[in-house]
Amino acid sequence: MKRYLLMVWYWLVNYTSRKPVTNTDMQNSPVVSLTSYDPRIGRVFATIESIAAGGQRPGRLILWLDDSFKTKPIPRSLQRLQARGLEILFCSDDGPHKKYRPYILSQAQHNLPLITADDDVLYPHDWLTQLWSAHRENPETVCCYRARVIRFDSLKSNDEQNLGQPIFLNTQVAPYRSWPPCASDQASLEHFSIGVSGVLYPPSLLLQLKKIAGDDLFRELTPRADDIWLNFWGSYWGYKKKQLTPVAQEFTQIPFSSRSALHRHNVVQGENDAQIQAMVSHLKNLSSLQGAAAE
């Protein structure tokens, strides 16, 4: 019942409010980015309103739509949000990678963190405030509300002591469905941030990602799984992931906005495992090549 009442409330806000959805102090506020597609485009306004209603507003709030929307009518709910500061930008159809990749490529430099959000969630009032506070305390850490702990099929006693390298470079990763929810607020290379509840990426990581964002390797390795791409590259470069609280948090989902298609492909049908193995194999090969070049 709560989510239906929230939807009614955000519809009223969307219809009547003239309050800006962004902070005028853009230089000291994070950027929030999300994407959407046809089945959810009529309801994504509620996600955006929930972010704008928070105790802290973003410096920029960007909705990325694939180029096909250039010839489609934009819902009036989103037009009203545009008038209040929402940026609707168009990009190539890179699936879930749209929520971060075009932003990274669009910026010559990255001085502010990027926070990604999902388009079927109603975020709480302190959502952005807590992420921003965590970033200020841990400026080189990926911060999130929900994570899993990567598990491994075999683990040598000295793997965790291997010069700070992520463990996946030295052993086999267990199936995704065996990874337990994170039960710690300590940062770790073996934590895997889940994008649905929101993730903050520090500027230095964005600069690293920009170096590889221009090629199409993500389409080959992780076409349906931006979380896998971002988490494993982050760990490979030494960026730990920190869940904000010891208990993983999942927020209210928008009614009738089922994420079953992506969940069915990635989790139920095991595509996460195939994409994880492709990603890990690539990083192992890259690590071997770099090690050989250093000798």
- Report which of 127, 170, 163 is spatially closest to residue 145, judged by C-alpha positions: 127
Please state the pTM of the whole predicted model: 0.93
Segment-wise mean pLDDT, segments of 10 residues, the chain, 295 residues: 89 96 85 95 97 95 96 96 98 95 95 96 97 96 98 64 73 95 96 97 97 89 96 97 96 78 54 95 88 60
The structural domains of the chain, ordered by start, are 2-294 (3.90.550.10)
- Residue 83's SS3 state is helix
| pLDDT for position 185 | 97
Please check whether residue 280 is in contact with residue 173, taking contact to mean a CB–CB distance below 8 angstroms. Answer: yes
Residue listed under structure tokens 């982050």? 234
Q: Which two tokens stand for residue 18?
A: 């003239």
**Residue 11: count of CB within 10 angstroms of its CB:** 15
| pLDDT for position 160 | 47
| pLDDT for position 213 | 82
In degrees, rounded to 5, the angle at the alpha carbon of residue 18 between the alpha carbons of residues 28 and 23 is: 0
| pLDDT for position 158 | 46
Q: Which two tokens stand for residue 162?
A: 């291997």
Please check whether residue 47 is in contact with residue 118, taking contact to mean a CB–CB distance below 8 angstroms. Answer: yes
CA dihedral defined by 168, 171, 172, 173, rounded to 10 degrees? Answer: -30
